């Protein structure tokens, strides 16, 4: 009887050992497969990162990118320089920023970028709101950005910049017409005539 018990115990221990061995081998195999999968995923991620960081392809943003540099502004209509604007290309060629009223407490930034075939303009206003505007059919020398939505604006009826018309006259001359809205209606225009500052 004791021999039978020992034999049964030995069988059970042997079976347990075999089971653990198979489980360990399976774990190694799955671990190796997992490691290979992780390496493959890492390689794919690196490839996608390279694609994501590719320089911007030719697009409707190019005429705005060509504005890069420092500009002198006349917005009083008297032919005098009233402010400075600086255009910069950033984000690997995917974004253009315009800094207006440079060096003053009222300095504002407008960021331009593509959204599919449309060009977007996000205006970071000195009033503290950030209207987003879109030109769905951009031209080669003119853009008409119309209000889409805004952050930090309680209602579209509140005062905000509602549209921007950009007219690129030539490589050294640009006219920007901003239209503000208040109480749901046009509240006025600010026309900036810009001339590229020569170094």
* C-alpha dist (Å) from residue 187 to 137, 157, 163, 193: 25, 11, 11, 20
- The pLDDT score that the predictor gives to residue 57 is 80
User: Which one, of 96, 79, 104, lies nearest residue 168 by Cα?
Assistant: 96
- The pLDDT score that the predictor gives to residue 47 is 54
Same domain for 91 and 172: yes
Same domain for 15 and 70: no
Kindly state the tokens that stand for 15: 């079976």
Q: Cβ(72)–Cβ(194) under 8 Å?
A: yes
- The pLDDT score that the predictor gives to residue 59 is 92
Same domain for 93 and 42: no
| Domain closes at, from 16, 32, 54 | 54
Give the CATH number for residue 146: 2.40.128.20
Same domain for 86 and 19: no
Same domain for 74 and 44: no
What's the rounded Cα separation, in Å, for the pair 68 and 172? 11
For the chain, what is the domain count? 2
Burial pattern 117-127, b for ≥16 Cβ within 10 A else e, equals: eebbbbbbbeb
Same domain for 181 and 108: yes
- The pLDDT score that the predictor gives to residue 98 is 99
| pLDDT < 70 stretches in the chain | 1-52
Same domain for 106 and 68: yes
Same domain for 171 and 87: yes
Q: What is the span of the domain harbouring residue 35?
A: 1-54
Q: Could you give phi then psi for residue 68, rounded to 5 degrees?
A: -50, 130
- The pLDDT score that the predictor gives to residue 1 is 46
Global confidence as pTM: 0.73
Same domain for 147 and 122: yes
Kindly state the tokens that stand for 44: 């794919």
- The pLDDT score that the predictor gives to residue 32 is 45
26-51 confidence digits (pLDDT tens)? 444 444 444 455 555 555 655 555 55
| Domain closes at, from 10, 26, 54 | 54
Same domain for 80 and 162: yes
Computed from CA positions of residues 34, 40, 46, 48, in that sequence, does the dihedral angle turn out positive or negative?
A: negative
């Amino acid at each position: 009887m004791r021999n039978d018990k020992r034999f049964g115990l030995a069988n059970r221990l042997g079976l347990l050992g075999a089971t653990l061995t198979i489980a360990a081998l399976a774990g190694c195999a799955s671990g190796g497969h997992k490691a290979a999968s992780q390496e493959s995923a890492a390689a794919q991620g690196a490839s996608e990162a390279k694609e994501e960081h590719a320089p911007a392809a030719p697009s409707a943003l190019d005429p705005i990118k060509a504005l890069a540099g420092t500009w002198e502004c006349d917005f009083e209509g008297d032919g005098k320089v009233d402010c400075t604007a600086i255009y910069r290309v950033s984000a690997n060629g995917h974004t253009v920023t315009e800094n207006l009223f440079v060096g003053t407490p009222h300095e504002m930034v407008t960021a331009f970028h593509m959204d599919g075939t449309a060009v977007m303009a996000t205006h970071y206003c000195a009033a503290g709101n950030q209207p987003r505007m879109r030109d769905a059919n951009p031209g080669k020398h003119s853009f008409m950005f119309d209000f889409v939505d805004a952050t930090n604006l309680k209602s579209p009826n509140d005062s905000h910049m509602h549209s921007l018309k950009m007219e690129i006259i030539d490589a050294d001359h640009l006219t920007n017409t901003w239209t503000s809205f208040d109480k749901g209606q046009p509240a006025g225009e600010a026309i900036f005539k810009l001339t590229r500052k020569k170094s």
